[in-house]
Amino acid sequence: MRLMTWNINSVRLRAELVLKAASEARADVVCLQETKTPDEFFPHEVFDAAGFKYRHIHGMKSYNGVAILSKLPFQEVAVHHRVGREDCRHIAVKLDGVELHDIYIPAGGDVPDPTLNDKFAHKLGFVDELAAWFPRHYKSTSKLIAVGDFNIAPLPNDVWSHKQLLNVVSHTSVEVEKLERFQKSLNWVDVGRHFVPEDEKLYTWWSYRNRDWKVSNRGRRLDHVWVTQPLQSSLKSHEVLTHARDWEKTSDHVPVAVEFISF
């Protein structure tokens, strides 16, 4: 099975780019974040025509939204609300006996102080809830995949400058510590770093503010794929489709693709 995840920043605006990336990645399953559309306006016909006949979506007007598109049938689907809000950030499906969770962690605003910034407080609470919720409902022996825009770049080489971004939202110590607690909750395997050593730079996002993103290369690794230990031996490959950042009217994130040998 080949899986792709992408923060698409409006699925209605970029549906054709999703198909382009899915074709390049030869994806059987596509997870999207920041779809930015109510369910009734989701572009189903585009994905039907491309063979993604099984879809689980949860969206809202203008903000957030997650979607799982699949060529493989689902056995179960679920919507999960976090920290008392119904803001379309976490859905799940079961396919071939594996549960796949598509998660869009809040960005957190600009001020890394939860007492001054409600968006940052929301983000920290969201990650805390994930860290507590998963071990209540699953075991480390469960077959799980968690993907999405986690909006946190945890490692020094997940950002262009560890020193300069220590006080910038997405790489602050409190965010990194909370994401680490979430990762340890089920002993998740970070698939990106399973394939790419921690001493190498690895990015999935470049700001629209960069006039030439390749020249400045001020990236961050905000998009992640995690698996529980029983699936680690099934991992075959991992690819960041960096060149998609050059596509016309594209997202500021790029797709991440992972291939599994079997479940």
pLDDT score at 210: 87
Cβ neighbours, 10 Å, residue 256: 27
Q: Return the structure tokens found at 114.
A: 């939860």
Residue 137 pLDDT greater than 90, yes or no: yes
Exposure string for 185-198, b = 16+ CB within 10 A, e = fewer: bbebbbbbbeebee
Cα(107)–Cα(123) distance, integer angstroms: 7
pLDDT score at 81: 98
Contact status, residue 105 vs residue 148, Cβ threshold 8 Å: yes
pLDDT score at 23: 98
Q: What's the mean pLDDT in 167-185?
A: 98
Query: Over the stretch 193-214, which tens digit does the pLDDT of each residue have?
Result: 999 999 999 999 999 998 899 9
Q: Return the structure tokens found at 77.
A: 């689907």
Bridge-based pairing state of the strands 235-240 and 256-260 = antiparallel
Residue 263 pLDDT greater than 80, yes or no: no
Give the residue from 192, 199, 194, 249 showing the smallest Cα distance to 224.
192
| Confidence label for 257 from pLDDT (cuts 50, 70 and 90) | very high
Bridge-based pairing state of the strands 98-104 and 144-149 = parallel
pLDDT score at 252: 98
Query: Over the stretch 202-256, which tens digit does the pLDDT of each residue have?
Result: 999 999 998 899 999 999 999 999 999 999 999 999 999 999 999 999 999 999 9
Q: Return the structure tokens found at 98.
A: 């594996």
What residue ranges do the domains of the chain occupy?
A: 2-260
Q: What's the mean pLDDT in 92-102?
A: 97
Query: Over the stretch 26-79, which tens digit does the pLDDT of each residue have?
Result: 999 999 999 999 999 999 999 999 999 999 999 999 999 999 999 999 999 999
pLDDT score at 211: 84
Query: Over the stretch 2-16, which tens digit does the pLDDT of each residue have?
Result: 999 999 999 999 999
Percent of the chain scored above 90 by pLDDT?
98
CATH 3.60.10.10 fits 2-260, yes or no: yes
Residue 262 pLDDT greater than 90, yes or no: no
pLDDT score at 26: 98
| Location of structure tokens 């919507």 | 79
